[in-house]
Amino acid sequence: MTNSNISIDQQTSETRRVTVAGLVINLFLTVIKIVAGIYGKSQSVVADGIHSLSDSATDVAVIVGLKYWNQPPDLCHPYGHRRIETMVTVLIGIALAVAGVFLGSEAVEKFRSGGYVVPESVTLAVAIISVVVKELLFRWTYRVGEKLKSPALKANAWHHRTDSFSSIAVAFAIGMALIDPKWAVLDPVAALAVGAFILQAAWKITTPALRELADAGATAEDLKKIERLVLEVEGVISVHALRSRFHGAGLQVDLHIQVDGNLSVNAGHVISGKAKRRLLEDGPDVIDVLVHIEPAE
């Protein structure tokens, strides 16, 4: 779901701007982390660079998907193309999970081989720079995602924040090793912690998107609110057969309402229109409503 008060062109422009900026920043961080990690003998910084590279991949996924999910409904997609955004969100979650497993396995292998080395001080500087830059990028991307109500942008924002958090762990491990060489073992420990954190973020991002693809509906609380709003419309006697499903971040709702059977068709149509407008204006992220009218017994 996107914000209906913002034009499609503006939504596309804002999404592309923040995502392209993220892509450029991620590619830059990838290069300096991997180079610094290899030169500075830090496995965790190299791992953090690979994490930044996975961020770049999800940026590309958002930019490519953006071309399609803001397209208006057509003959083959009468409900629109918002599910493409959901699929991109799932891909971002999978990319995160793959990165987390890779980083974790590399850390385990380091534990097995031993031979811990104290990283160079340049790796600490790179990690600190990454923390600051990626946190700022998270806040900007998430703010735009909230404004546009875009789950893919918000998922991508969390991908940025996991990179920021992982860099905090890396900076701590390197700092301890520089203070005392016996703490060099913290380098692979930090890499393992980064992998675990990334897997947790992947789960949080992917689960709601998969629920949507499985046609999950509104919560019981939101269904009660929808029913209450419709019953407050003058002329509505009862509500039943209430169903909902997510489409993007928004809800599609269909329901049956009973009205006075002696009303004209036109009067019943007016009541159904009021019920629909009420839900679109005050309902819990409702983007479409189908109302079926029945005479009250």
pLDDT one-digit tens code per residue, 81-138: 777 777 877 887 888 788 788 778 877 877 777 666 778 888 889 989 999 999 999 9
pLDDT band at 5 (very low <50, low <70, confident <90, very high): low
Residue 193: pLDDT band by 50, 70, 90 thresholds?
confident
In the chain, residues under CATH classification 3.30.70.1350 are 220-295
pLDDT at res. 70? 66
Residue 89: closest CA among 119, 62, 68, 60: 62
Q: Where does CATH 1.20.1510.10 sit in the chain?
A: 8-213
Rounded Cα gap, residues 23 and 59, in angstroms = 6
pLDDT tens string 207-244: 888 887 887 788 889 899 999 999 999 999 999 989 98
Give the count of beta carbons closer than 10 Å to the beta carbon of residue 29. Answer: 25
Domain 220-295 in CATH: superfamily?
A: Cation efflux protein, cytoplasmic domain (3.30.70.1350)
Distances 199 to 104, 136, 168, 296 between C-alpha atoms, Å: 10, 22, 17, 53
Could you tell me if 178 and 119 are in contact, meaning their C-beta atoms sit under 8 angstroms apart?
Answer: yes
Q: Among 3.60.15.10, 1.20.1510.10, 3.40.50.10440, 3.90.1640.30, what is the CATH number of 8-213?
A: 1.20.1510.10
How far is it between the farthest Cα atoms of the chain? 87
> What does the pLDDT average to over 19-29?
90
DSSP 60: H
DSSP state of 1: -
Whole-prediction pTM: 0.62
